[in-house]
Amino acid sequence: MSTAMDTESTYSGYSHYSGHSKKAHRQGRDRHKSPRSKDGSRSEKSVTIQTPPAEPLLGNDASRAEEGQDDNWGETTTAITGTSEHSISQEDIARISKDLEDSVGLDCKRYLGLTVAAVLGLLVFLTPIAFILLPQILWRDDLEPCGTVCEGLFISVAFKLLILLIGTWALFFRQPKADIPRVFVFRALLLVLIFLFVFSYWLFYGVRILDTKDTNYQGIVQYAVSLVDALLFIHYLAIVLLELRQLQPMFAVKVVRSTDGESRYYSLGHLSIQRAALVVLENYYKDFTVYNPALLTASKSRAAKHMAGLKVYNVDGPGNNASGQSRAMIAAAARRRDSSHNELYYEEADHERRVKKRRARLVVAVEEAFTHIKRLQAEEQQKAPGEMMDPREAAQAIFPSMARALQKYLRTTRQQQYHSMESILQHLSFCITNNMTPKAFLERYLNPGPTLQYDKDRWFSKQWTLVSEEAVTSGLQDGVVFVLKCLDFSLVVNVKKIPFIKLSEEFIDPKSHKFVLRLQSETSV
Amino acid sequence: SYLIFFFSSFQQRIEIHKLRQGDNLILGFSIGGGIDQDPTQNPFSEDKTDKGIYVTRVTEGGPAEVAGLQIGDKIMQVNGWDMTMVTHDQARKRLTKRNEEVVRLLVTRQSLQKAVQQSMMS
């Protein structure tokens, strides 16, 4: 228990800091504090080392627009705020209702498709076996004897079916990883093709063989073998259409996040728009830094200030053109001597300096904390049994000395919502177990990482909508733009074709590399 | 006015009497250039493909300065030997022959050229 940092709390939500930083800190926080009334719920806990709480520090429904609030596992306070613990913001209501209504419909569609494919696959697999067995069952006595040739054909049918089974398992039996709005065109085409193919084979078999009770058994078996061969070729076609065709990169796709402009480029082959959207989303979770709404409030407040500065009065009576009015307003705003660029510059410079300072303090604190721990070798473990700790206890022991610096740093970079004390302790014990250096431990906190790194509750992006002017099953073309929307932000995707590259060759004889000395001497005479 | 074109008017003849210093006869200047050197590094030449021999330094009070040789002069002939198409070492050898006490140089100078050009224009 960090009693050294124990302070008495006198007003809700804030704690006293040591004297010299108090005033500056309070001023800084007051500047950031939003004027709206508190919207979320907060519960503040005092720090106990033995049993840290398991839930995230800010409670479930903390409004994301809050800043300047404490998460005080670094210091200790005992005050509880006055707001209720169960308030939910408007966005959360929208999100919950959307989750409910969407989950039912799509599952039915997905399972329907799967069952159709499974039934068809089973039918197709059993067909050759049926072709071979039916004559034996129905008119065994009339069949011509067919010795080694038929047995050889039986073996080949058996192995080809086995290969087909393994190939189908490898290619198709995968957990569906996504729900997409429309059917896969190629998959549907292949299913239809297989169905027609098998249907025509059954038709021929039924008419020519079953009805006439053909006695040439070798011919029947060869017919079944030809079916299996053709199925293997269809399987090859499926591999080429579904897997190989889109491997060759044809398009460079630029993905830009609408809220902060972060962008990436990806290479894609011939895909439909919905499959391209899937690829983009899969890469989004691991490439883009996590969406942090706390970072956007500065630009929003600047925008609000721009609009609040001008008022337009209508002195000529009704009937004025609205566009002329708004154009005049924009022109007036542009001419106004605005010093907001100055503010932005100094604010950003100030913020940079503060972040760097806190980062330096954090790095020093963590390095110092890590020096207190030493790994015991196997021989030493017998000598001092009383003092041994497992990684969790070791983490809890050194955590208080770096907790405050880490909390301050996270608060300055507005990441405090993404890391709870429990997750930090877990990460610390993980790093201690794996012999990581302080820098490796800090790597997770110094830079915002990709979305996958964080707890699912903090993702803000689970339900996606594909907005496109063209049909989502049509292929990618140069210049196609589509948008992937989720509740809080959207990803704008712009498709560009990789240019046709003309490559020519030039041969250089290795003996043609010759050099001369370029001198400039001066001689005195 | 009419133009009179004198070939030799761009050039000057300089006679240097070598000074004896111990065992050596010195002239009191340094040369740069030659057909085996890099002409683009010559600071004195107007045409950077000129591989001729140029005077790069003139020691104060030496025989060359006394005779009127200036820095930046291009040496065309030494005692009748051509110096426009020689290597650096050949030029040095022709200037430092031990049995010669006097060398007669034919030099050309950019300032000289410009002065003659200006007088021809006016």
Per-residue DSSP letter, A327: H
Residue A23 has what pLDDT? 44
Which of A518, A519, A522 lies nearest to residue B56, judging by beta carbons?
Answer: A522
Which residue is closest to B90 within chain A, CA to CA? A523
- What pLDDT, on a 0 to 100 scale, did the predictor assign at position A458? 79
Nearest to B30 among A519, A520, A522 (CB): A522
For residue A301, CA distances in Å to A31, A280, A296, A413, A425 come to: 12, 31, 9, 18, 35
The radius of gyration computed from the CA coordinates of chain A, to the nearest angstrom, equals: 35
pLDDT value of position B104: 93
Contacts of B24 in chain A (CB under 8 A): none
Of the residues B36, B73, B75, the best mutation for testing chain A's interface (the one with the most A CB atoms within 10 Å of its CB) is B36
Query: How far from each other are the two terminal CA atoms of chain B, in whole angstroms?
Result: 8
Residues of A in contact with B60 (CB under 8 A): none
CA angle A2, A7, A13 (to 5 degrees): 110
Distance in angstroms (rounded) separating the CA atoms of residues A157 and A224: 8
For residue B19, the chain A residues in CB contact (below 8 A) are: none
Interval B67-112: pLDDT, tens: 999 899 999 999 999 999 999 999 999 999 988 889 999 999 876 6
Residue A184 has what pLDDT? 80
Distance from CA of B38 to the nearest CA of A (A): 5
Q: B29: which chain A residues are within 8 Å (Cβ-Cβ)?
A: 524-525
Q: Which residues of A touch B41 (CB under 8 A)?
A: 518, 520
Pick the residue from chain B with its C-alpha nearest to A518.
Answer: B38
pLDDT at A16: 39
CB-closest option in A520, A524, A525 to B37: A520
Residue B55, H or E segment: strand B53-58
- CA nearest to B103 within chain A: A525
H-assigned helices in B9-103: 63-67, 88-95
The predicted complex's ipTM stands at 0.80
**What pLDDT does residue A483 have?**
95
Side-chain-side CA neighbours of residue A180 (13 Å): 19
Q: Which residues on neighbouring strands pair with residue B49, listed in sequence order?
A: none
Minimum-distance CB partner of B38 among A519, A524, A525:
A519
- List, for chain A, all residue ranges whose pLDDT scores fall below the cut of 50: 1-70, 77-83
- Residues B88, A523: C-beta atoms closer than 8 Å: yes
Residue A153 and residue A229 in contact, taking contact as beta carbons nearer than 8 Å: no
Q: Are strands A251-257 and A490-497 parallel, antiparallel or unpaired?
A: antiparallel
Give residue A374's identity as a one-letter amino acid code: K
Q: Scanning every residue of chain A, which has its alpha carbon at the shortest distance from the alpha carbon of B30?
A: A524
CA angle A250/A252/A253 to nearest 5° reads 125
Instruction: Report whether A494 contacts A265 (CB < 8 A).
Output: no
Taking a C-beta distance cutoff of 8 angstroms, is the pair A70, A44 a contact?
Answer: yes
Name the residue among B27, B38, B59 with its Cβ closest to that of A518. Answer: B38
Question: How far is residue A296's CA from residue A292's CA, in Å, rounded to a whole number?
Answer: 8
Which of A13, A15, B67, A237 has the alpha carbon at shortest distance from A5?
Answer: A15
Tens of pLDDT along B21-72?
Answer: 888 889 999 999 999 888 888 888 888 899 999 999 999 999 999 999 989 9
Cα distance between residue B26 and residue B103, in whole Å:
11
Distance CA A167, CA A239 (A): 10
Q: What pLDDT sits at residue A467? A: 92
Q: Looking at beta carbons, which residues of chain B come within 8 Å of A523? A: 30-32, 88, 92
- In angstroms, the separation between the Cα of residue B46 and the nearest Cα of chain A is 16
Cβ–Cβ under 8 Å, residues A359 and A384? no
Q: Which residues pair with B26 in a beta bridge?
A: B19
Q: Are B54 and B72 in contact (CB under 8 A)?
A: yes
From chain A, the residues in CB contact with B32 under 8 A are 520-523
Asked if B36 lies within 8 A of A519 by C-beta distance, the reply is: yes
The distance of B8 to chain A (nearest Cα, Å) reads 26
Sequence-distant (6+) residues with CB within 8 A of A30 are: A68
B-contacting residues of A 490-519, CB under 8 Å? 518-519
Find the closest chain A residue to B92 by CA distance.
A525
Both tokens assigned to A491: 């990803």
Q: Domain B11-121 belongs to what topology?
A: Pdz3 Domain (2.30.42)
Domain edges within chain B:
11-121
Is residue A182 within 8 Å of A274, Cβ to Cβ?
Answer: yes
Please name the residues in contact with A52: beta carbons below 8 A apart, sequence gap of 6 or more: A73, A396, A421, A422, A425
Specify whether the CB–CB gap between A456 and A473 falls below 8 A: no
With DSSP H G I counted as helix, E B as strand and the rest as coil, what are the percentages for chain B, rounded to 5? 25, 30, 45
pLDDT tens string A319-341: 556 667 777 777 776 666 667 78
